[in-house]
Amino acid sequence: MKELEEYIAQYGTVKEGNVLKVDAFLNHQCDVELFDRMGAEWARLFAGKQIDKILTIEASGIGIACVVSRHFGNVPVVFAKKYQSINLDGEQYCTSIHSFTKQKDFHVIVAKKFLHEGEHVLLIDDFLANGCALNGLIELCEEAGAIVEGIGIAIEKGFQDGGKKLRERGYDLQSLAIVESMDPAVGTVSFRH
Ligand code: 5GP
């Protein structure tokens, strides 16, 4: 999505450690009109698929997913919650993931009442790096018996292997911008087309 690439080039900053900061429009301050156009683009890319629910992960995915739902018939949006320690009551699906940005392990949970067997789910998130967050969401869907119809990612860092592995596993992964490389010394970002 050319517009998203232009936003990244204009407002993104490249940090040490392969981190791209896009807090001016994606995951701190939120550009709702951009989210809306991202939703329209995913609706085009996933046209014809049955989507009963959107599943994302707190916190950055929530705003994006809620706007995107408007393009998928206002389906419910569920976000997995992250806990560093948990008290399971058996009414939740739970798995554990490693956070790329925080360098910590988290439990991610979804209440059983919000994810059901046979539901067709679209996974949405802001970033894809090594794929840990998405693998966690996929595991929650597997536990529930829900079907992952597609995965919509705003920014995939193509030099990390999460996207490659998910495509190899056969998932319909649609990233709106794929970063090929970035240089923290000069702040440049190049994209894969
Ligand atoms: P993964 O689990 O695929 O390794 O990383 C994806 C998660 O880490 C996303 O949910 C996102 O919040 C965070 N993340 C990964 N890389 C970046 C990055 O370069 N910039 C920002 N802002 N977040 C990132």
pLDDT band for position 106 (cuts 50, 70, 90): confident
Evaluate whether residue 21 is within a structural domain: no
Could you tell me how far CA 118 lies from the centroid of its own chain? 21
Contact between 120 and 49 under an 8 Å Cβ cutoff? The reply is yes
- 13 CB less than 6 Å from ligand 1? no
Evaluate whether residue 94 is within a structural domain: yes
pLDDT digits (tens, 9 = 90+) for 108-154: 999 999 999 999 999 999 999 999 999 999 999 999 999 999 999 99
Q: The domain spanning residue 109 has which CATH number?
A: 3.40.50.2020
Q: Whose CA is nearest to atom 4 of ligand 1?
A: 130
Q: Whose CA is nearest to atom 8 of ligand 1?
A: 100
- 108 CB less than 6 Å from ligand 1? no
Taking residues 178-193, what's their average pLDDT? 94
What distances in angstroms separate CA 6 from CA 22, 23, 34, 175, one per listed residue?
Answer: 12, 15, 11, 15
pLDDT digits (tens, 9 = 90+) for 18-63: 999 999 999 999 999 999 999 999 999 999 999 999 999 999 999 9
Please give the distance, rounded to the nearest whole angstrom, from the Cα atom of residue 126 to the centre of ligand 1. 7
Evaluate whether residue 137 is within a structural domain: yes
Evaluate whether residue 15 is within a structural domain: no
pLDDT at 83 over 90: no
Contact between 24 and 11 under an 8 Å Cβ cutoff? The reply is yes
- Cis bond before residue 129 (omega within 30° of 0): no
Atom of ligand 1 nearest to the CA of 23: 22
- 100 CB less than 6 Å from ligand 1? yes
Please give the distance, rounded to the nearest whole angstrom, from the Cα atom of residue 17 to the centre of ligand 1. 12
Evaluate whether residue 56 is within a structural domain: yes
- 127 CB less than 6 Å from ligand 1? yes
pLDDT at 90 over 80: no
Residue 115 DSSP code: S
Count of structural domains within the chain: 1
Q: Which tokens hold the place of 36?
A: 């809306």
pTM (predicted TM-score): 0.96
Please give the distance, rounded to the nearest whole angstrom, from the Cα atom of residue 127 to the centre of ligand 1. 5
Contact between 126 and 61 under an 8 Å Cβ cutoff? The reply is yes
Nearest to 174 by CA among 119, 120, 124, 100: 124
pLDDT at 86 over 70: no
Taking residues 93-121, what's their average pLDDT? 91
The identity of residue 84, as a single letter, is Q
- 156 CB less than 6 Å from ligand 1? no
Nearest to 55 by CA among 30, 81, 73: 81
Evaluate whether residue 25 is within a structural domain: no
Evaluate whether residue 88 is within a structural domain: yes
Q: Print the domain residue range for 138.
A: 38-178
Please give the distance, rounded to the nearest whole angstrom, from the Cα atom of residue 128 to the centre of ligand 1. 6
Please give the distance, rounded to the nearest whole angstrom, from the Cα atom of residue 182 to the centre of ligand 1. 15
Q: What does the alpha-carbon distance between residue 20 and residue 60 come to, in Å, rounded to a whole number?
A: 14
pLDDT of 20 reads: 97
pLDDT band for position 101 (cuts 50, 70, 90): confident
Evaluate whether residue 7 is within a structural domain: no
